[in-house]
Amino acid sequence: MEHVALIFPPKREASVKAAKEAFEILSSCRIQVLSQFPGMLGTGAMLLHEDSRIDAIVSLGGDGTVLRCVQMAISSTAPVLGINLGQTGFLTETEGSCLEEALFRLVRSEYSIRTLPLLHVHAQEDWYALNDCTLLRTAHQRLPRIQISVDGHLADEFQADGVVIATPTGSTGYALSAGGPLIVPGTDCLVVTPVCPHKLSHRPMIIPGTSTVDVHMVEDPESMGMLQVDGVTVCSYEARGVFRVKRSDQSIRFISFGEQDFFEAVRNKLIR
């Protein structure tokens, strides 16, 4: 372990404070620290570039900060260590109060790797998602009619505010808020969940993880939408457009200390 990237929201005081502490700890272990905001950390921190060499990525924030590490983790193949400084932190490995211990375990390589699947989303371009991709109508637009095809077969057609296609990892995110089920990690499936459907008969679908999903907004000049990948709007979406979602050949690696229990996390972070 020689090069570690610190990812943190620069406008959150708690995250900046934790990043400075992490920088001091890693520097004391002779680890080169890279960041998009090196000037906020101290002397010796280096600017993080797309082609920078990194051996691990440390996310200091909530689930949103972890999601912002996805593209970097894909291109660098470096594993991600999520340290929760946010509200829920379902994607993180440990809490901010354990920052020092977590970093020393990272430096000593006292961890295992868990690999999580990604979605490949193809519309105007290609994107990758850890949690989900979502089609949502834009403000003041007519409720769109959406067709869902699975492996070339029409599976459903409904009017709704949108639709979420999620991985098991993403089943605890927006898909859950939209009425989708919790999926235990490691389950080989995808979840297709309508967002606020016009009729009660349209419910979430659990489909095989190997499926290819085509989403088509039925032609309507008054219907417009936006496509979001892991909560980030990536493009506008017009009627007649089709985007395709399937499991990617690429995956993302997370650092694990073997202390996470899915059902305990559900009880502590989503129920209480």
Catalytic residues: 63
65 in Cβ contact with 36 (< 8 Å): no
For the chain, the maximum distance between any two Cα atoms, rounded to a whole number of angstroms, is 61
Structure tokens, 15 = 């995250």
Give the CA radius of gyration of the chain.
20
Structure tokens, 182 = 């919790």
Structure tokens, 256 = 């694990």
Evaluate the CA torsion angle 208, 251, 95, 60 in order and state its sign: negative
DSSP string for residues in 198-227? SSTT---EEEETT-EEEEEE---TT-EEEE
Structure tokens, 239 = 């009627």
Say how far apart CA 30 and CA 35 lie, in whole Å.
Answer: 16
